[in-house]
Amino acid sequence: MTNFLLAATGGNMLYAISRPEGKGGSTGGSKIIDKQISLGTIIPTSLTLLEGNTADKNEKLLLVGFENDGTNKGNGFAVYTILKQELIDRPRDTIVAASRFVPTLKVYVQGKTDLGAVSYAPNRKLLAVATGEGKEVLFFRNPKELFTGTGEKLSLPIM
């Protein structure tokens, strides 16, 4: 299994760092950014990984929470299924364009805004999402099922 630190900062870029401790295992060395992945019009509000539906432990579903994806359909999650291909199989030190790293599925959350932190409990088959609006926590049952497929879906959380 290959370890990466995934990070998103104030823009539309996702950064993958394979050795966050610094060059050559030293502490205090400069960080190594292996990949910069453009998310296009999506400005991430959260990132989380779900177990993929394959035997390969490096194959994960990447959920990127967003407030707006440029379509004015609201907030939700973009689901990416080619994370292993882009992070592990592609050479280091590359910038991946948004036209290459396209979400397989978008799940729009009806009636809720300001999606924030995400927590996933695989043994309970439950995904929890904090909102800034009213300080609510939204729950989604069977997230692997919800975030499987292609195209677009609308979802109502369970409360």
C-alpha dist (Å) from residue 99 to 17, 37, 48, 116? 21, 10, 21, 26
Other C-beta atoms within 10 Å of 142: how many?
Answer: 11
Distance in angstroms (rounded) separating the CA atoms of residues 9 and 142: 29
Phi/psi for 91 (5° steps) reads -60, 155
Q: What angle do CA 152, 142, 66 make, to 5 degrees?
A: 45
Distance in angstroms (rounded) separating the CA atoms of residues 130 and 103: 22
Q: Is the pLDDT of residue 60 over 60?
A: yes
Distance in angstroms (rounded) separating the CA atoms of residues 47 and 116: 9
Distance in angstroms (rounded) separating the CA atoms of residues 58 and 132: 32
- Stronger pLDDT, 21 or 158, i.e. the higher one: 158
What's the confidence (pLDDT) of residue 103?
92
- Stronger pLDDT, 26 or 100, i.e. the higher one: 100
Q: What is the mean pLDDT of residues 9-37?
A: 67
